[in-house]
Amino acid sequence: MATNRTFTMIKPDAVEKGHIGGILAMITDAGFRIVSLKLTQLTVADAKAFYAVHSERPFYGELVEFMSRGPIVAAILEKDNAVEDFRKLIGATNPADAAEGTIRKKYATSMGENAVHGSDSDENAAIEGAFHFSGREQF
């Protein structure tokens, strides 16, 4: 399996509750290498652009408001089969359906406030990583 990269955000709900350290520990314990990392905040325009794929969905306004309401942690991660393995590590979008041992099972509180983001393809991982980090910030 090829070593490749994914992109994640620790969402505002988890940052507010003090779970940055716990979530980063689960990520590194699962074998992901941190390529880039920062505490930052999405503007409303950033959140709209980042989730533009969902612009026609009924939850879009709520999602944009939530994702821009406070700081997030943005990170690029590297591992064999990174995108798929990270989606497994974070668990189902709805924490009620998330498997034991997943980040969302432990830290998410609802479908909307679900603690972490994970890219859904190699192509989107590259786009999303470049949204937050310059080449010089990728190690």
Catalytic residues: 117
Torsion of CA 3, 5, 11, 14, to 10 degrees: 20
Site string for ligand RTP, 85-124 (x = CB under 6 A): --------x-----------------xx-x--xx-x----
Q: Rule CB under 6 A: is residue 12 a binding residue for ligand RTP?
A: no
Nearest approach, Cβ of 98 to ligand RTP (angstroms)?
Answer: 10
- Does 28 belong to an annotated binding site? no
Determine which helix (DSSP H) or strand (DSSP E) holds 24, and give its type and residue range. Answer: helix 20-29
Note whether 72 and 10 are within 8 A (CB): yes
Q: For residue 84, give Cα distances in angstroms to 16, 57, 77, 80.
A: 27, 24, 12, 9
Q: Which residues bind ligand RTP (CB under 6 A)?
A: 54, 59, 63, 93, 111-112, 114, 117-118, 120
